[in-house]
Amino acid sequence: MELYSQLLSLVADGTPFSVTTRYNADGTRTKSLTDASVYSEWDGGTLVDFYAPEERLVIFGAGHIGFALAKLGKFLGFSTLIYDDRPAFANEKRFPDSTVVCDGFERLSENLTLTKRDYVVIVTRGHKHDADCLRFALSGEEPYYLGMIGSRRRVAIVKQDILDAGFSGERLAKLNSPIGLNIGAVTPEEISLAIAGQIVEYRRKTDNGVGDFPLDIEQLQVLAAAAPVDYVQAVVVATDGSVPRDEGARMIVNVSDGRSFGTIGGGCAEGDVLLRARDLVRSGKLWTLYELDLTDDAEDDGMVCGGTMEILLEVC
C-alpha cells in the first residue's frame, strides 16, 4: 500500500508519524498520515496508530558482556549498534545482526549521533574509555536510557572527572550505575540479562512516548508491500478483564498460507483471527469489528486469561 510505503520511508529517516483511519458505516474507510501525537487511540469509529523510528540499543564495548547484550537486544526488538576500538572484537563476523563501528572512543562524535530513542550501555574495558563514552552521551541529545558498568570505585572516579569537566550534575544523576537489575548476576550472560531487564523496565515506563508496543519493522514492511486481499491486519482496540495483550497489540495474517507477523496473544485468539480474516476476504468487505470472549477457553484449558478482546480486522 502506497501510504505505508511512504510511512516506512519516513520512520526510516527518523520521523515519527501517525496513521489515522476512519471506518465508515457503509463499510468503506479512509486513511491519512498525520504528525505523530499519540501512540494508539480508538473512539469506536476512528483508529490512530503511532509509528516511530525503531528504538536503538547502543553498546560501547564489544567484549563478552557487549556480545551477549547485543543478542538479547535483537531478541527484544531493538536495532543494535556496537562501538569499540578493537578490530578483533568489533567486526561484522562477530556481530552479524548489528551495526558495527570500529574506531577510537575519542572520535565518537565524528562517528555517531545519539537521540532520545537510544538506550546507551557503557561496558568498555577501562575507566578512561568509560569517561570518553559518558562525556559523549552527556554532550548531545539525552538518550532515553544511560547505564555504565563498573565497581563503585571505578564509577566514582569517572563521575568526578565528568563533574570536574563541567558537565551537568542533573543529567549525570540519571546515569544507571551500578547498571542492571539486582539479580545476583555473575557471568557475562547473567550480567547482560540484568542490564536487559532494566532496559525493559525503562521501555515500559508510561512517559517514554513509545506506548505498549514499539514499532515492528517487519509488520510495517509487510503492510508496505502487501498485495490486495493477501493480508489482513488484526488490532486489539479494547479489552475487559484478564487478557493476553492490551490495546494496541496487532498481528498481520496471510489469508492464503496462514503465515502471521506479530501477535495478539497466541493460541485460540490467533486461530480465530485467521478464520475470521478469511471470512472477511470472502465477504468482499474491507473491515469488521468483533468481540472475542476468552472466558470459556480459559475455564476449559485452565488458562490464566479469561476476559474479552474487541478486535478490528481490516484487509491490508
C-alpha grid cell, residue 158: 569517572
Percent of the chain with pLDDT over 70: 89
pLDDT at 253 over 50: yes
Distance, in Å, from the CA atom of 66 to the CA atom of 98, rounded to the nearest integer, reads 11
Report helix angle 127-139 to 152-164, nearest 10.
50
Give tens-digit pLDDT for 64-96.
999 999 999 999 989 999 999 999 999 999 999
In the sheet that holds 40-42, the strands lie side by side as 29-35, 17-23, 46-51, 40-42
C-alpha grid cell, residue 266: 497466541
Distance, in Å, from the CA atom of 57 to the CA atom of 272, rounded to the nearest integer, reads 35
DSSP H helical ranges for the chain: 2-12, 64-75, 108-111, 127-139, 152-164, 169-172, 188-203, 217-225, 267-283, 295-301
Residue 103's pLDDT is: 97
Residue 299's pLDDT is: 47
pLDDT at 210 over 50: no
Comparing CA positions, the residue from 250, 261, 253 lying closest to residue 315 is 253
Q: What is the separation of C-alpha 104 from the centre of its chain, rounded to a whole number of angstroms?
A: 29
pTM above threshold 0.75: yes
Residue 37's pLDDT is: 59
Give tens-digit pLDDT for 124-142.
998 889 999 999 999 989 9
Residue 190's pLDDT is: 98
Query: Looking at 18-27, 39-48, 239-248, 299-308, which range is the least confident one?
Result: 299-308
CATH numbers and ranges of domains, the chain: 2-52+211-315 (no CATH), 56-203 (3.40.50.720)
Beta strands in 219-266 (DSSP E): 231-240, 250-254, 260-262
Sorted by sequence, the CB contacts under 8 Å of residue 222 that are 6+ apart come out as 231, 252, 261, 316
Residue 296's pLDDT is: 60
Region 186-206: mean pLDDT is 92
Q: What is the separation of C-alpha 94 from the centre of its chain, rounded to a whole number of angstroms?
A: 23
Sorted by sequence, the CB contacts under 8 Å of residue 298 that are 6+ apart come out as 242, 304, 305, 306
Q: Which residue has the higher pLDDT, 12 or 120?
A: 120
Q: 3-state DSSP call for residue 226? A: coil
C-alpha grid cell, residue 121: 550501555
